[in-house]
């Protein structure tokens, strides 16, 4: 299910028509008269709360998971949580990592970098080539959204519930889903990302979680099912 949903989200994020929706929504957050976005630069408290704060939280959470994973090697009562901890940690690392790598490959500009919103680079869709007769001083690095990747990566904690219990997994994925969208929308209202950039990041996060669980299941030569008596009930 995660694989199918991830493919659907990535398909939407890469669809030719999504660009029109991106531009329409971006115009809602941009004041063409003043040249400012809904959340302009120079707002340190807002920036700290929605940008730096979530990063500190996710970093602290990852550190706690790492400590718990290390302790599980020596504490028998933590052993049932070893694989869920490993999946959650790897998701927190691989989702942002994959997003950063793709940013350097796709060459897509942020809204505030395009001439549509006061920037100096021409807007192009994901698979559209940049004009060769125009000198560019830098390449685009905005697809997919990097900031939201940490929030969506938190959905990896769904691994603490049985793969058969989709209700618990759905419930555990809510915090990461909400945090990812809060972080993603914050970047959108600042002109740092289009909607499709955040949708793509959500698809990548789901794909990473699916791949990690599939790989671990394959290595164990059986479908991984956490013990319902020791994990979340």
Residue 169 maps to which CATH number? 1.20.144
Residue 231 lies in a domain: no
Q: What is the mean pLDDT of the chain?
A: 91
| pLDDT score recorded for residue 222 | 54
In a domain, 131, yes or no: no
The rounded distance, in Å, linking the Cα atoms of 150 and 48 is: 16
Place of tokens 């972080």: 183
pLDDT of residue 226: 57
Give the pLDDT of residue 224: 47
Residue 45 lies in a domain: no
- Specify if 180 maps to a domain: yes
pLDDT band at 44 (very low <50, low <70, confident <90, very high): confident
Q: Is 77 within the bounds of a domain?
A: yes
Is 86 a member of any domain?
A: yes
pLDDT band of 210, cuts 50, 70, 90: very high
pTM across the whole model: 0.90
d(CA 124, CA 114): 9
Average pLDDT on 84-98 reads 96
Domain hosting residue 155, numbered range: 2-27+54-124+139-219
Question: What is the average per-residue pLDDT within 165-178?
Answer: 95
Q: Is the pLDDT of residue 4 over 50?
A: yes
Q: How far is CA 26 from CA 79, 124, 181, 199, in A?
A: 47, 15, 16, 15
Mean pLDDT of 96-118: 95
User: Does residue 196 carry a pLDDT above 70?
Assistant: yes
Q: What is the mean pLDDT of residues 153-169?
A: 92
Report whether 108 contacts 76 (CB < 8 A): no
Quick check: 211 pLDDT over 80? yes
Least trusted range by pLDDT, from 109-118, 121-130, 196-205: 121-130
Segment among 38-47, 92-101, 108-117 with least mean pLDDT: 38-47
Please give the average per-residue pLDDT across 124-140, as a whole number: 85
What mean pLDDT is predicted for residues 22-44?
93
Average pLDDT value for residue range 171-176: 97
Q: Is 62 part of any domain?
A: yes
More confident residue, 136 or 53: 53
Residue 77: the pLDDT is 92
Number of domains in the chain: 1
Which pair of tokens denotes residue 46?
């807002």
Q: What is the pLDDT of residue 136?
A: 82
Q: Which tokens belong to 195?
A: 């909607």
DSSP string, the chain: -HHHHHHHHHHHHH-TTHHHHHHHHHHHHEETTTTEESS-S--HHHHIIIIIHHHHHHHHHHHHHHHHHHHTTT-GGGGGGHHHHHHHHHHHHHHHHHHHHHHHHH----GGGBGGGT-SB----TTPPPPTTS--SS----SS-SHHHHHHHGGGGGGGS-TT-HHHHHHHHHHHHHHHHHHHHHHHHTTS--HHHHHHHHHHHHHHHHHHHHHHHHHTTS-----TTTS--
- Separation between Cα atoms, residue 44 and residue 61, nearest integer Å: 24
pLDDT at 228: 54
Domain assignment present for residue 23? The answer is yes
pLDDT, residue 227, reads: 57
- Amino acid 231: pLDDT: 57
């Amino acid at each position: 299910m995660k694989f199918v949903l991830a493919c659907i989200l990535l398909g939407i994020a890469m669809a030719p028509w999504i660009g029109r929706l991106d531009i329409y929504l971006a115009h809602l957050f941009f004041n063409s008269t003043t040249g400012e976005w809904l959340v302009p630069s120079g707002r340190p408290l807002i920036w700290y709360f929605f940008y730096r704060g979530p990063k500190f939280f996710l970093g602290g959470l990852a550190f706690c998971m790492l400590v718990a994973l290390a302790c599980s090697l020596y504490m028998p009562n933590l052993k049932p949580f070893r694989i869920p901890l490993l999946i959650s940690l790897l998701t927190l690392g691989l989702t942002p990592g994959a997003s950063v790598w793709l940013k350097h490959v796709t060459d897509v500009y942020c809204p505030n970098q395009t001439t549509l919103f006061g920037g100096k680079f021409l807007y192009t869709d994901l698979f559209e080539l940049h004009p060769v007769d125009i000198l560019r001083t830098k390449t685009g690095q905005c697809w997919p959204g990097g900031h939201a990747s940490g929030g969506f990566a938190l959905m990896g904690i769904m691994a603490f519930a049985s793969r058969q219990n989709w209700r618990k997994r759905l419930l555990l994925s809510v915090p990461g889903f909400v945090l990812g969208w809060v972080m993603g929308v914050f970047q959108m209202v600042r002109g740092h990302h289009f909607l499709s950039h955040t949708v793509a990041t959500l698809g990548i996060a789901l794909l990473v979680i699916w791949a990690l669980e599939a790989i671990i299941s394959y290595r164990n030569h059986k479908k991984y099912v956490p013990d319902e008596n020791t994990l979340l009930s």
